[in-house]
Amino acid sequence: MSLTKYYTATTLDGFIADPNDSLEWLFTREQDRDGPLNYAAFIAEVGALAMGRTTYEWVLEHEFAGKDPSEWKWPYDLPCWVFTHHELTVVPGAQVEFTSADVAAVHAQMVDAAAGRDVWIVGGGDLAGQFADAGLLDEVIVYVAPVTLGGGKPLLPRHLELRLEETARNGDFVTARYAVVCASSTPLDRDDLDRLDDAFQRLAPPLTRAEGRSQAIERVGADEDFARRGGGSDP
């Protein structure tokens, strides 16, 4: 089954680039290319990808600087959608489609193109957040670098509830893979609340199930309509 994943590196304080879109803080770090959550294993399972305008322009600048357009070679041999409202430079022969359509409509095309493989949201963080808002983001995979920037482009400027699935050290990085439980704009279903119930029971065993659920709803900002439909009481 195809999953939609946001795979990226971040600073400890949650930025994927500095205020000037530089990644110099990233390229000085040591990592094991065959280690936990490595890129080669990840990209081997990807069948389509998406990125925003800033990410696309960063790729152009760093892949093709000083080269004649006849020498340009797009680094991804996969269908790619670039979300933009601007006219951008076209890379000859690249499987790139520029779009300003809603992410849900484009996601359906991406899943079809991926043909059972995963969909990669390359960046930036707001684009990943738009997929999360639509309930289309399944996993967040991060390499956390031992550095802080104090400002820049945020990793994921949204309120998301995540569940840690895997973590390990890879060189200078802490790597982690999270499942997306729900976005703040997505109403919680019963399974979501059951998972939150379990978490609250582990943290505070004296709570009754109803009390745990009540605190879970309050904690994640679930809408009152869900509670009126029976989500706030024991089954």
| Residue 232 identity (one-letter amino acid) | G
What is the pLDDT averaged over residues 127-142?
97
pLDDT band at 225 (very low <50, low <70, confident <90, very high): very low
pLDDT higher than threshold 80 for residue 134 = yes
pLDDT band at 202 (very low <50, low <70, confident <90, very high): low
Q: Which residues contact 27 (CB under 8 A, 6 or more apart)?
A: none
Query: Is the Cα dihedral 24, 30, 33, 39 positive or negative?
Result: negative
pLDDT higher than threshold 90 for residue 4 = yes
The whole-number pLDDT of residue 75 equals: 93
The whole-number pLDDT of residue 70 equals: 85
The whole-number pLDDT of residue 65 equals: 87
The whole-number pLDDT of residue 182 equals: 81
pLDDT band at 198 (very low <50, low <70, confident <90, very high): low
Contact 231, 188 (CB under 8 A): yes
Domain edges within the chain: 4-183, 190-231
- State the pTM of this model: 0.78
- Packing angle of the helix pair 190-203, 209-220 (nearest 10 deg): 110
CATH top-level class of 4-183: alpha beta
The whole-number pLDDT of residue 136 equals: 97
Q: What is the DSSP code string of 178-213?
A: EEEEEETTSPP-HHHHHHHHHHHHHH-TTS-HHHHH
Least confident of 31-45, 65-79, 105-119, 202-216: 202-216
Cis-peptide into 124, omega within 30 deg: yes
The whole-number pLDDT of residue 184 equals: 62
